[in-house]
Structure 1
Amino acid sequence: MNQVRMLLAFVTLVLSQNFIFAQSYCYESPAQWSSAPCHPAAPAPISYGSAGGVWSGYDGVHAVAPAMSYRGNAGCSTSDGYSTWSSPTMACANPNIVEGGYGSTFGDSTLLSPGSIGGSCGGLFGGIEFLWMRANFDQNVAMIVDPPVGNTLVPFDYGFELSPRAWLGWQSCGGTGFRATYFRFDESAGTEAVTAVAGATPVYLFVYGAGGNLSRNANANVGQTLVSNHSLELNSIDLEATQVVRWNQARAIFGLGVRIADMHQTARGDVFNPVGTIEETVRNDLKFQGAGPTASAQLTRGIGASPFGIFAMTRGSFLVSETEQRIYEMKGAFTTELEDIAIQREVLGNLEFGLGVQYGQSIGRSAGMFFRAGYECQLWLDAGGPVDSHSTIGLDGITLAAGVQF
């Protein structure tokens, strides 16, 4: 999927040259106020500063200014206002500094209009996330050991491996924007090998296709060894229109768009005789490429007056895809070779859910950044597994992310 790799390279270059990480917003971090009761409510009373030209927050009781606040021109006389900027006795420039992290915003949107803050309420955002994930399958079969009484399943064992995700987007002052997100999982399970012995034979691997209508196998008898391998590669690109909604200390991002995805997995079982010569092979090559609608939501909420918060995210997609399965079988040391092919169009489903904790902080005059850690689970429904084409793939693991918005 050369286009996907080119897009990932472009996103990585942009991030490294311009803003490193992100997916945040940057108005009025609660951590900038001396205590929780002094955090401005909605609508937030504000006042022009006096000779010093300092704009200070005021909640009607405490009159405590934040550590970093709005700053106007020197020489302005004092004047109070609620929800809008009051008219001073002489010409005053609009505030030109908004410091903040990933927290609450002023309740009145007129305080955050492009004119009042120099247009810094929107802009580019992007980020990168590192996921340590492992693969799980409904039909996770590396081989079956078949003694005279009972059978033993030997599964493939996937460990936690590093997988990247990156996103890049733009957001207007009204919260509307767009976002492109890329995710990749590309890992292999550890090799499984069992030698058939008296009392634990045969050792075999069956592969099924076309809803069970196709079946091929490899069998190891006494003295022979069955060696199995499996690999999985998943790529997805999400192109979404987004909308940010904020209330009190909570912020939500809703997205609607299109997901483009592809998958390739290969399972193989080889039977070797005692001297190491290959006698039998069965291989399952399974691919799909598809696209379809996707919807996502991410909620972040601050914890008290601190820069810390909690977040949760979810996504659902339907993929109209073309699935291709090729089952190869070799018997008698290459004296017999067969290949079954099944190509069909189907609708696959994808569900994702994650949650965790987050830290946000302002950087400079109008930018904010965050760091977060959490747990995520993905389900790729009816996507197939090592020995069939209709199992569910599950990915789960921990995530570490960082991001910034300008």
Structure 2
Amino acid sequence: MQFEHSDKVKGLIARLEAFMDEHVYPNEQAYLDWVHDPANLWKEWPGMEALKDKARAEGLWNLFLPHEYGEFSPGLTNLEYAPLAEIMGRAPFSSQVFNCSAPDTGNMEVLAKFGSPAQQERWLKPLLNGEIRSAYVMTEPQVASSDATNLELSILPDGDDYVINGRKWWISGPMHPRCDLYIVMGKTLFDNPRHSQHSQIIVPRDTPGITMVRNLTVFGSMNSPGGECELRFDNVRVPKENLILGEGRGFEIAQGRLGPGRIHHCMRSIGQAQRSLEIMARRADSRVAFGKRLADQSSIRQDIARSFCEIEMARLLTLKAADQMDRHGNKVAKDLIAAIKVIAPQMAQTIADRAIQVHGGMGVSDDTPIAYFFTLNRYLRIADGPDEVHMSQLGKMKIAEYVAMNAR
């Protein structure tokens, strides 16, 4: 197993770190101050486009898109992208600077892998250029959506159109001023086997019949400028050519989308955990309590040592999963993807919690990013499938695998 990054990746890491030092970290507080100001609700931070232009000019653009997508891709593998996503994860808003932010990344992969030439021309190219943003519309309030076969929103043919009816919630990004399209998953073939009933379709944001029911808060935050929303679709009509891949292909598309998206989240979580550890160590070195530096307290040293070990283990598992995705495909690597999706957000949440404790009252404020890292990773333990679902499926896979082996 090769543990050394290639010269190409080393060069990208150096360029990305230099860009973060020069342009991202110095603007981080200005960005946070802007999006937390109620007067700026659902408005983009004014400095974003300038940073995007700089990143594009530096060639630090669309780095997430796997190499197999040819003309649409910068040519990186999942393994090569992993350390870059970790660096971006250290300042979560920076993913948009490099056009590598969810949910756009997953939607671009869907359109690159499954979209028709017309869909790619109309929607993928503006997304790849960072001109528009998007949302992925899957979860529903009235059913347990972690089992996506429960989804009830209907996508039914009618003449030259499909007609969409139903409710969705926890949809990330619809409030962003640049959000122009939704990719919507719903049921088309009601009598088919349960995994071939659903379809996915492109719905322009301004299509008549879409109602923004309410904005949802996450740990009290509106998450401006994109937000999370509940949506209602009442006889929403879109042309048949907006259907992606074909009727009943929704689960095939979802699996192609969610595998890479899950591991991208994990890469970013590791960056947040690493930054939390660094901040915690600096705090322990500088803070004196009861006549003694915190760094001289055995319990603090143990927390820092344990955090280092846990980050290294999660990073190695992430790299192994990415390598298996590159070598054998997402389906073969699904056990490792499930494992790291459980491990990484919990690990990052735990390390952020330790860092909060070392900072005392300061730790729960916005004076450092660690409180945000804590809540973000707690949320990620539900997003893209809750821990329990991944554990259940992983356990089922491993039982079947080991039972099939010859006893020895």
**Structure with greater proportional helix content:** 2
RCO higher in 1 or 2 (8 Å CA, sep ≥ 6)? 1
> Which structure dedicates a bigger proportion of its chain to strand?
1
Q: TM-score, normalised by structure 1?
A: 0.23
For the pair shown, which has the larger CA radius of gyration, 1 or 2? 1
